[in-house]
Amino acid sequence: MTTKQAGAPVVAFRGAVKDYGAVRAVDALDLEFTAGERVALLGRNGAGKSTSIALMLGLDEPTAGTVELFGGAPRDAVEGGRVGAMLQDFKPVSRITVGELVGFVGSAYPAPLPVAEVLELAGIAHLAKRRVEKLSGGQIQRVCFAVALAGDPDLLVLDEPTAALDVQARQEFWRSMRALTDRGKTVLFSTHYLEEADRNADRIVMIDRGRLIADGGSAEIKRTVGTGVVAFDAVDGTLPEGVAALPGVRTAEVRDGRVRLRTTDPDATTIGLVGLLTPRGLEVTQAGLEEAFLTLTSEASEASGAARTSGNPASVPAASASASAEKGFTR
């Protein structure tokens, strides 16, 4: 029952679609994760992360397409004890101790880890005899992590494991996580903290409006988008003519009174720009994941409305550039 196909990907989305009424939460997702990968599912609130995870865990059925775990139905993998999960919005189960809870969940799995070891891994060994409902938010979240680990599953799925945690608690959480991933588990976590994905995953899957918009290592994502940002004051608040066509420029937009050019070659872009006009308040910076994210999501929103503009995608029309500028403001 557990092993359907040897060598099957741990997780496989094939054209997966999930509609809630008129809302398309997941839109034609194609993804495969292999054993031992640490994947971050990155997206804004409402991007479709939790829905994707619900499909993966068999909590929900796709409207179209398929989602498979270990080459079979997600329910079979879950019931076979190959999956451990930490769900979003964890609230404490009342009138039960940490040790009892972790011990019970582990006992439902075919080959659980010893409770003491799980609590040690999650950094809550000292809380074993405490009632779950009497713990702090950060402690409860670690208990949920321990619950996900208890059965020593092959695949760990963590839905926004650090949401609602303060910075210190987040750092402590990722320390425990790293100790665990050293054991060769496949781990998938969702987050809207770009930095977390950058630091703790070796593969980043970005989704927006239910669609896959980027997939790769954080370096690859930065390369796809452009490694630098050339910014200067927008004199009359509009995008100067010709800047989008400068060498290396991937996107051009006006945001907060500044023209921002994302580029694969900041040097060439800057030289070209100086030949074109006299920029004021010129600034050249390296793109972080935040920049990558903004670019990719605005590209995705342009692509969805791109039917009317059939042109070179590198030269962004002024209309859509200002559209993404508005998007920048609403964020």
Partner 1 sequence: MSAGTAVVSRYVGLELRRTFRDLGFVIFGIGTPVLMYSIFTSVGDQDQAAGGWDVLAMVGMASYGALGAALTAGSAVAEDKANGWLRQLRVTPLTPAQVVAGRTLTGSLMVLPAVMAVLLTARLLNGVDLALWQWLALTGLLWLGSLPFTMLGIANGYLLSQQAANVTNVTCNLALALIGGLWFPLTEFPSGLAAVGEWTPGYLFARLGHDTVAGHAPGLVTVAGLAAWLLLFGAYAAHGYRRAGRRA
Match 């439902």 to its residue by tokens. Answer: 108
210 touching partner 1, by CB under 8 A = no
* Of 9, 43, 48, 151, the one binding partner 1 by CB under 8 A: 151
94 binds partner 1 (CB under 8 A): yes
Q: Element (H or E) spanning 195, and its range? A: helix 194-200
Q: Is 108 in the site for partner 1 (CB under 8 A)?
A: yes
171 lies in the binding site for partner 1 (CB under 8 A)? no
CA-based Rg of the chain, rounded to a whole angstrom?
Answer: 23
Contacts of 165 (CB under 8 A, 6+ apart): 137, 138, 141, 173
Q: Are 63 and 71 in contact (CB under 8 A)?
A: no
Question: Is there binding between residue 309 and partner 1 (CB under 8 A)?
Answer: no
DSSP per residue, 22-39: TEEEEEEEEEEE-TT-EE
Taking the least distance from each CB to partner 1, the nearer of 56 and 321 is: 56
CB under 8 A: which stretch of 85-93, 175-183, 193-201, 308-316 binds partner 1?
Answer: 85-93
Q: Which region, judged by CB under 8 A, interacts with partner 1, from 63-71, 81-89, 204-212, 221-229? A: 81-89
Measure the CA–CA gap between 264 and 11, rounded to whole angstroms: 33
Out of 39, 85, 118, 214, name the contact with partner 1 by CB under 8 A: 85
**Is residue 99 at the binding interface for partner 1, with CB under 8 A as the rule?**
no
Choice from 19, 32, 79, 172 touching partner 1 (CB under 8 A) = 79
Residue 90 binds to partner 1 (criterion: CB under 8 A): yes
C-beta of 96 vs 271, nearer to partner 1: 96
In the beta sheet, which residues pair with residue 156? 84, 187
* Residues comprising the chain, all counted: 331
Choices 74-82, 119-127, 225-233, 317-325 (CB under 8 A): range interacting with partner 1: 74-82
Which residue in the set 11, 69, 83, 230 belongs to the binding site for partner 1 (CB under 8 A)? Answer: 83
In contact, 122 and 51? CB cutoff 8 Å: no
CB nearer to partner 1: pick between 28 and 73:
73
Residues 6 or more apart whose CB falls under 8 angstroms from that of 42 comprise 49, 190, 191, 192, 194, 197, 204, 205, 206, 207, 293
- Selected from 7, 91, 136, 278, the binder of partner 1 by CB under 8 A is 91
Number of residues that bind partner 1 (CB under 8 A): 28
Orientation of helix 167-181 relative to helix 137-149, angle to 10°: 10
Interactions with partner 1, residue window 109-148 (CB under 8 A): 109-110, 147
Smaller CB separation from partner 1, 159 or 291: 159
Nearest distance in Å: CB 64, partner 1: 19
Query: Given candidates 25, 42, 47, 78, which one binds partner 1 under the rule CB under 8 A?
Result: 78
> Is 172 one of the binding residues for partner 1 (CB under 8 A)?
no
Estimate the share of the chain in helix, then strand, then coil, as percent rounded to the nearest 5.
40, 25, 35
Tokens 């010709």: give the residue. Answer: 242
96 binds partner 1 per the rule CB under 8 A: yes
Question: Cβ of residue 300: shortest distance to partner 1, in angstroms?
Answer: 30
Q: Which residue's entry shows tokens 């990155």? A: 42
**322 in Cβ contact with 259 (< 8 Å):** no
Closest CA to 39 of 137, 186, 171: 186
> Which chain residues interact with partner 1 by CB under 8 A?
57, 59, 78-81, 83-85, 87, 89-96, 100, 104-105, 107-110, 147, 151, 157
